[in-house]
Amino acid sequence: MLHRAGGTVLSDGMPDKPAPTADYYRQTAARLLAFARETRFPEVRIELFVLAERFERMARYVEQRYPHRRGTLPTEGEPDNN
């Protein structure tokens, strides 16, 4: 059965795309840290640092809970060789 949840098509409650990996979360955290270092607004900088820490925590959680999800996800259009 297919239905929409927040714009994502779900099949039996599972998303179409693979779940993010620990590397994905870490790359996102690194980008957020880079943005934080570049911004001149202190409030925005703090929020970006907090958000980056959340992504780093998600990476650690994924590594501990789902060891098979450590690697990077294939980029859009790149075949998944798993």
pLDDT tens for residues 17-41? 788 899 999 999 999 999 999 999 9
Task: Please give the structure tokens belonging to residue 21.
Answer: 């990996």
pLDDT at 17: 78
pTM of the model: 0.65
Number of domain units in the chain = 1
Residue 62 lies in a domain: yes
- Inside any domain, residue 26: no
Burial string for 32-69 (b: 16+ CB within 10 Å, else e) reads: bbeebeeeeeeeeeeebeebbeebbebbeebbeeeeeb
Q: Percent of the chain, pLDDT > 90? A: 52
Closest CA to 34 of 24, 45, 23: 45
Distance of CA 78 to the CA centre of its chain: 18
Residue 76 lies in a domain: no
Q: Cα–Cα distance between 40 and 42 in angstroms, integer?
A: 6
